[in-house]
Amino acid sequence: MARMFRVLGFWTLAIGLMALAGDMKEMALLFFFQTAAFVVLGYMNLSERTYIMLFWGYMILSFLGFTYWSFFQMEV
């Protein structure tokens, strides 16, 4: 499971680099932060249950943030 967090770090780095190339600096910084968090968590060698709980927390937080942003902040 720790290896999957490092894989998530790789993909968030790839997305962050593409966002940076597309001149979307805020999105790139968000994904670079996620990359650092995933890689650090990936090398902590926590229990599998802890990794699953962290991932669920991440998913809930990201879905709530996306829903808030798309419903309240974006203009029609």
What's the predicted TM-score (pTM) here?
Answer: 0.86
pLDDT at position 11 over 90: yes
**Is the predicted pLDDT of residue 75 greater than 90, yes or no?**
no
SS (H, E, C) the chain: CHHHHHHHHHHHHHHHHHHHHCCCHHHHHHHHHHHHHHHHHHCCCCCHHHHHHHHHHHHHHHHHHHHHHHHHHCCC
Mean pLDDT of the chain: 95
Report the percentage of the chain scoring pLDDT > 70. Answer: 100
Residue 72 has pLDDT above 80, yes or no: yes
- pLDDT surpasses 90 at 76: no
